[in-house]
Amino acid sequence: MTDLRLDGHTALVTGAGGGLGRAIAERLASLGATVYGTSRNPETAEHIAARYGTVPLTLDLGNTAYFPEFVSAMQRVSGGIDLLVNNAGINIPRAAVDVTQDDWDAVMNANLKGSFFLTTAVARNWLERKEGGSIVNIASQAGLVAIEERAAYGTSKAALIHLTKVLALEWAREGIRVNAVAPTFVRTELTRSTLDRPDWAAELLGRIPIGRFGEPADITGAVAFLLSDAASLITGQTLAIDGGYTIR
C-alpha cells in the first residue's frame, strides 16, 4: 500500500529522545520520512540527529516565545516539514488535593500550551506558503475517561483532544489535517512510576479487556497511518489505542 509510505515527507517529532517519541520517530523513518526530533537536553538532541542524519534540535516547550524563530530555522535547514507529531509531555501523578499550582502549570505548559503554540507556529508557516500538512497530537485515554491521580494530566489531554477538533475545523480547507491518538498505559519512562507499583498496575490491567498494557509499537502504526495519504479524508478525530479501556 504505497499511500502508507512517507517517502518525500519531512517530519518533526517532539520529545524524540526515548520512549514513545523515539519509537514514533523510528517508525516514520522506516516508512521513508526524513525525521527531525527534538529534546530539551542538548546531548540527547545530538544523539537524535545522529540517528536520523539530520541536525540537533533543542526545544523547551515552556519557551513558547522562541517557537516562531525555531520554525523559521527548521524551514531553512530542512527545506520545510510537512508532518508534525506533538509527542513531548509530562505527567505528575498526584491525588487531586496534593496537586500544587507549580504541578498544574508544569503539566499544562508542556502538554497543552507548548503543543498549541508550536502547532500554530508550524501551521502559520504552511498557511503563508499555501502548503498543506498533517499533524498528530499524542493525547491519552486519560483525556477520555477519569483516572485516579490524573487531575492535571487528564485535563491537559482532554483539552488537547478538543483542540485537535478546533484546529482541524479551522484548517481543513487549507489542506492541513489534525488528528490525535489516545493511548492506554504504554510501557515507557513516563509510566514507570505507575506500572512499577504492583497493586496499582494490577488494578489498571484489570480495566483493559485485551488484558495487557501497551508497548510503543502498538501506537506508532496508528500515528504513521494518520499522517499518511491513506488517511487523507480523516481530520479532527481521536483514535483510542487502549485495549478497550474506554469502552465501558
List residues bridging with 39 in a β-sheet: 58
| 196-226 b/e (C-beta count within 10 Å ≥ 16 → b) | eeeeeeeebbebbeeeebbebebbbebbbbb
Whole-angstrom distance, CA of residue 98 vs CA of residue 87? 26
Residue 205 · residue 244 · CB < 8 Å: no
Q: Please identify which of the residues 36, 52, 66, 153 carries the catalytic annotation.
A: 153
Whole-angstrom distance, CA of residue 25 vs CA of residue 36? 8
Whole-angstrom distance, CA of residue 180 vs CA of residue 137? 4
Identity of the residue numbered 210: I
Contacts with 101 (C-beta within 8 Å, 6 or more apart), sequence order: none
Catalytic residue flag (residue 153) = yes
Neighbours of 57 (CB within 10 A): 23
Annotated active-site positions, please?
A: 153
